[in-house]
């Protein structure tokens, strides 16, 4: 049986920012909307509404976000693949953020209409 996911579009445009690994989490990172902050040994990555990202911060703008309507059990398989496969097969770039209860898919705003069409054609529902 094919996996069907309900996706909720989030309002606003998002940016994916990159800071140095040792940088402190800046105050502008937190606030309304979806926020993801990830630190690795190589970088501090922040996803937030793009209007909050100050000039001079390395970032990529104009992403739209779709929230997987979960929660999903950790042992459920095929959920993320069922969503990203039709996009990847049609050469649409994605940025994916996973959380404890669910997942968030970001696609470029210029690809939003195509992504929506591909997701619906694959059997997913946009709320």
Residue range(s) defining the domain that contains residue 46: 6-126
User: Could you report the per-residue pLDDT of 26-78, keeping only the tens digit for each?
Assistant: 999 999 999 999 999 999 999 999 999 999 999 999 999 999 998 888 888 89
How far apart CA 14 and CA 6 sit, in angstroms, is 21
| pTM, 2 dp | 0.92
Q: With bands split at pLDDT 50, 70 and 90, how would you rate the model's confidence at 25?
A: very high
Query: CATH code at 11?
Result: 3.30.2130.10
| Residue at 26 is within a domain | yes
User: Could you report the per-residue pLDDT of 82-106, keeping only the tens digit for each?
Assistant: 999 999 999 999 999 998 888 999 9
* Cβ-based burial of 121 (10 A; exposed 0-12, middle 13-18, buried ≥19): exposed
Decide the pairing of beta strands 58-68 and 14-19.
Answer: antiparallel
Contact 66, 10 (CB under 8 A): yes
């Amino acid at each position: 049986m094919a996996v069907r996911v309900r996706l909720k579009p989030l309002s606003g445009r998002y940016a994916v920012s990159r800071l140095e690994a040792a940088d402190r989490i800046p105050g502008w990172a937190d606030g309304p909307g979806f926020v993801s902050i990830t630190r690795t040994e190589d970088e501090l990555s922040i996803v937030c509404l793009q209007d909050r990202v100050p000039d001079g911060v390395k970032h990529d703008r104009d992403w739209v976000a779709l929230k997987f309507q979960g929660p999903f059990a950790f042992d459920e398989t095929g959920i993320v693949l069922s969503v990203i496969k039709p996009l990847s097969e049609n050469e649409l770039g994605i940025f994916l953020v996973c959380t404890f209860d669910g997942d968030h898919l970001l696609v470029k705003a210029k690809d939003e209409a195509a992504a929506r069409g591909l997701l619906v054609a694959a059997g997913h529902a946009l709320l």
